[in-house]
């Protein structure tokens, strides 16, 4: 797990970012780790298709 956020809205409580080798490893993570955590009652997955903007530079106006 790379990141974990406690969030509001979006019908979710937490948002996590994971890095996996491939979809087979994601399935293993999902079925054998994440959904086995007590209190996890549902999971919604999204996948990055491509980066549009990736910067840490703040604009100065």
pLDDT tens for 33-51 read 999 999 999 999 999 999 9
DSSP structure string for 1-61: --EEEE--STT-SEEEE---SSHHHHHHHHHHTGGGSTT------------S----PPP--
pLDDT digits (tens, 9 = 90+) for 11-35: 889 999 999 999 999 999 999 999 9
The pLDDT value recorded for residue 59 is: 87
Q: Domain extents for the chain?
A: 1-52
Q: Specify the DSSP element, H or E, that contains 24.
A: helix 23-32
Task: State the Cα–Cα distance between residues 19 and 25, nearest whole angstrom.
Answer: 9
| DSSP 8-state class, residue 29 | H
Run of H or E residues at 4:
strand 3-6
pTM value?
0.74
């Amino acid at each position: 797990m790379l990141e974990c956020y406690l969030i509001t809205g979006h019908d979710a409580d937490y948002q996590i970012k994971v890095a996996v080798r491939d979809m087979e490893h994601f399935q293993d993570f999902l079925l054998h780790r994440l959904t086995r955590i007590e209190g996890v009652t549902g999971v919604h997955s999204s996948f990055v298709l491509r980066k549009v903007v990736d910067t840490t530079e703040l604009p100065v106006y």
